[in-house]
């Protein structure tokens, strides 16, 4: 029995150490220099991917200067029904005029901002839930008349920390051991 418990603990920790995060967004950092993986819609007259040499973390990015009505970019992500996800991105406003920016996940607004500061802001939104095998990620931007910049878009499955798996495994082993003792 002792060997079984030790083997189970070893297997649980080995399994936990292999937990990996898979990026679901294609071209989330726009490093292709274009909209590969993204679909543009709405007022796209001033919507493009630009090169930005002023910061190392934002070499290429989406720039939107839509006025009057918003410009959108979107893509469908392969998700699991009921799965939990984390969305993160960097946002910047290049002006002081009226700016409106929205992020949507699974058809629902998950982030909305007006008059974004003139500095890069890192946004993280946890525990987003999918209800479909394909989930739309969409960003909208309206600027009267300024520019919004978006970069480093990421969506990953919310993976429990390896310690969570290890503790869960140890708890299950303890439960099995106590049940076995009661049966003897």
Q: What is the pLDDT along the chain (184 residues), one digit of tens a residue?
A: 555 555 555 555 555 555 578 999 999 999 888 999 999 999 888 787 877 756 656 678 788 877 888 999 999 999 999 999 999 999 888 766 678 889 999 999 999 988 766 788 899 999 999 999 999 999 999 887 778 888 999 999 987 655 555 666 677 777 677 677 677 6
Query: Is residue 76 domain-shared with residue 115, that is, in the same domain?
Result: yes
CA–CA dist 154, 87 (Å, integer): 6
Count of structural domains within the chain: 2
For residues 74 and 139, the answer to whether their CB atoms sit within 8 Å is yes
CA–CA dist 39, 24 (Å, integer): 15
CA–CA dist 23, 85 (Å, integer): 10
Residues paired with 142 in a beta bridge: 100
Query: Is residue 7 domain-shared with residue 46, that is, in the same domain?
Result: no
Query: Is residue 171 domain-shared with residue 115, that is, in the same domain?
Result: no
CA–CA dist 63, 152 (Å, integer): 13
């Amino acid at each position: 029995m002792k060997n079984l418990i030790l083997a189970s603990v070893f297997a649980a920790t080995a399994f936990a150490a292999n937990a990996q995060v898979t990026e679901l967004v294609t071209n989330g950092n726009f490093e292709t220099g274009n909209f590969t993986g993204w679909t543009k819609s709405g007022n796209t007259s001033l919507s493009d991917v630009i090169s930005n040499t002023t910061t190392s973390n934002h070499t290429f990015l989406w720039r939107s200067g839509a006025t009057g009505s918003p410009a959108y970019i979107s893509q469908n992500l392969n998700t699991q029904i009921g799965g939990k996800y984390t969305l993160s991105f960097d946002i910047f406003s290049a002006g002081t005029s009226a700016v409106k920016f929205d992020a949507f996940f699974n058809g629902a607004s998950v982030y909305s901002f007006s008059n974004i500061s003139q500095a890069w802001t890192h946004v993280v939104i946890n525990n987003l839930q999918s209800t479909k095998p394909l989930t739309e990620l969409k960003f909208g931007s309206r600027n009267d008349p300024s520019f919004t910049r978006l970069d480093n878009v990421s969506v990953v499955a919310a993976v429990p920390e390896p310690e969570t798996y290890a503790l869960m495994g140890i708890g299950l082993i303890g439960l099995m051991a106590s049940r076995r003792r009661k049966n003897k």
